[in-house]
Amino acid sequence: MSITQIMQKALTGAWLRHEVLANNIANSDTPGYKAARVNFEDYLYDALRPRIRLAVTNPMHVRERYPDTIAVTLDTTSFTPDGNSVDIDREMAEVSANAYYYTAVSRQLTAEFSLLRRAITEGRR
């Protein structure tokens, strides 16, 4: 898998995380709403692993740990008496951290394309 494909997966995961965080913030006052969480690090790790898959011929065999899709889970704890589990301070901090992550990966991807362009044109413009 090329570095550009890995960065594309990282950007896709960060985009999904941002959508889920925005949805959590929008529902911060909704009674009974459970905050969703995105863990795309396992998905990204899966993209980096060698593509050797475990052969499962018996139900007792060890299963692979990392998913082929990005997992979205619900936070079942409640922070308010109405059953809502959104902590607005946590959500805002995660939005900020995710924005920095997305920016860093997209800048790295831009730099990678710049290097490829320079190699193709042999340094000429």
How far are the Cα atoms of 11, 48, 61, 66, 81 from residue 41, in angstroms, in the given order? 11, 11, 25, 10, 32
pTM of the model: 0.74
Where do the domains of the chain lie? 3-120
Q: Are 79 and 85 in contact (CB under 8 A)?
A: yes
- Tell me the residue ranges of DSSP E strands in the chain: 36-39, 71-74
Q: What is the pLDDT of residues 72-107, one digit of tens each?
A: 778 877 778 888 889 999 999 999 999 999 999 999
Q: What is the pLDDT of residues 46-72, one digit of tens each?
A: 667 665 566 677 777 666 554 556 777
